[in-house]
Amino acid sequence: MGQRYERIEGRILDFIERQPVFFTATAPLSGDGHINLSPKGRSGTLVVIDELTLAYLDFGGSGAETIAHLREEGNGRITLMWCAFTGPPKVLRVHGSGEAVFRDDPRWAEFIPQFKEVDGPSARAIIVIHAQRISDACGFAVPFMEYQEERTQHAEHFGRKSDEEFAAYCEKKDHVGVSLDGLPALPLPLPARTD
């Protein structure tokens, strides 16, 4: 039987910190817009700032649907989900509102140290989530899966690019400046970093 929690603390915090992958879900306000669901990995790219605030590092390499949905006026809805693939069955969701902190935002310098060694040239935004509902479910139908190791290709590929090369990459890629539904996404040209 599922439970609701007032805060991210104790065993809920421990559960989040042990999971090697999480999922994000957002949608535009338009009923015929595209819902976005994305897996997120790379150890160290998600942090719990306090008992009701999380943040994750948004990297280049894919579109920018999450950013577009969070930027849409009157929107900002986001859900994060974790599944236990080992140990006791559990699915945890954090529903909330989110915002994208871009590289030229003064808050960038406040948040980026939280990500220590995983920061890199392909970091294009920090997604900050303000939790409004924290709940779990049984997870009985989630299979056991064995975690082997982190994939290194993303960090290696973008680690070979200068910041200028990464900015040029973002400008050429489809659905980075504008979402699938025509919403403003990542500001282009890519803002220079403030740190």
Instruction: Give the pair of three-digit tokens for residue 127.
Output: 């997604």
- The partner residues of 128 in beta bridges, in order of sequence, read 55, 99
Q: Are 108 and 126 in contact (CB under 8 A)?
A: yes
Write the DSSP symbol of residue 112.
Answer: G
Name the phi and psi angles at 53, rounded to 5.
-135, 130
Write the DSSP symbol of residue 55.
Answer: E
Q: What pLDDT, in 10s, does the model give residues 8-32? A: 999 999 999 999 999 999 999 999 9
| No. of helices (H) and no. of strands (E), the chain | 5, 8
Q: What is the pLDDT of residue 1?
A: 64
Instruction: Give the pair of three-digit tokens for residue 1.
Output: 């039987």
**CB under 8 Å to 66, separation ≥6 — which residues?**
24, 26, 36, 38, 58, 78, 98, 100, 127
Q: In whole angstroms, what is the distance from residue 137 CA to residue 93 CA?
A: 8
Q: What is the pTM of this model?
A: 0.95
User: Mean pLDDT score of the chain, rounded to an integer?
Assistant: 94
End-to-end CA distance of the chain: 45
Report the 10 Å Cβ neighbour count for 30. Answer: 12
Judged on CB neighbours under 10 Å (0-12, 13-18, 19+), 52 is middle
Q: What percent of the chain has pLDDT over 70?
A: 99
Q: What pLDDT, in 10s, does the model give residues 56-72? A: 999 998 899 999 999 99
AA identity, residue 116: K
pLDDT higher at 61 or 127: 127
Q: What pLDDT, in 10s, does the model give residues 149-186? A: 999 998 899 989 999 999 999 999 999 999 999 999 99
